């Protein structure tokens, strides 16, 4: 993948930061498994797995921590 889609971790608001954290998480999966067919085939399995969903939430939370720090926790970096 050569698309440049992440210009900055800076966001205007915490909500924008959280949405960016979700985007980072989703793109991480896309880079790890570039086959859309494979991702689509696997989705029903993890969609019903509480442990997989919790793990996904943890990845989003870690990404949000990174973005919050990059934005000086929205207190005027």
Q: Classify 35 in phi/psi space as left (phi over 0), alpha (psi -120 to 50) or beta.
A: beta
Q: What is the mean pLDDT of the chain?
A: 93
- Angstrom distance (rounded) from CA 8 to CA 77: 14
User: What DSSP string describes 5-20?
Assistant: ----S--SSHHHHHHH
3-state secondary structure of 59: helix
Whole-number percent of the chain with pLDDT over 90: 87
Interval 63-77 mean pLDDT: 88
Q: Mind listing the pLDDT tens digit for each residue in 14-49?
A: 999 999 999 999 999 999 999 999 999 999 999 999
Is the pLDDT score of 1 beyond 70? no
Spatial contact of 67 and 20, defined as CB atoms under 8 Å apart: yes
């Amino acid at each position: 993948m050569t698309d440049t889609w992440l210009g900055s971790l800076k966001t205007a608001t915490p909500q924008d930061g959280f949405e960016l954290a979700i985007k980072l998480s989703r793109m991480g999966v896309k880079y790890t498994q570039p086959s859309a067919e494979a991702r689509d085939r696997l989705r029903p399995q993890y969609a019903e797995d509480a442990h997989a969903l919790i793990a996904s939430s943890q990845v989003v939370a870690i990404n949000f921590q990174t973005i919050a720090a990059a934005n000086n926790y929205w207190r005027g970096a």
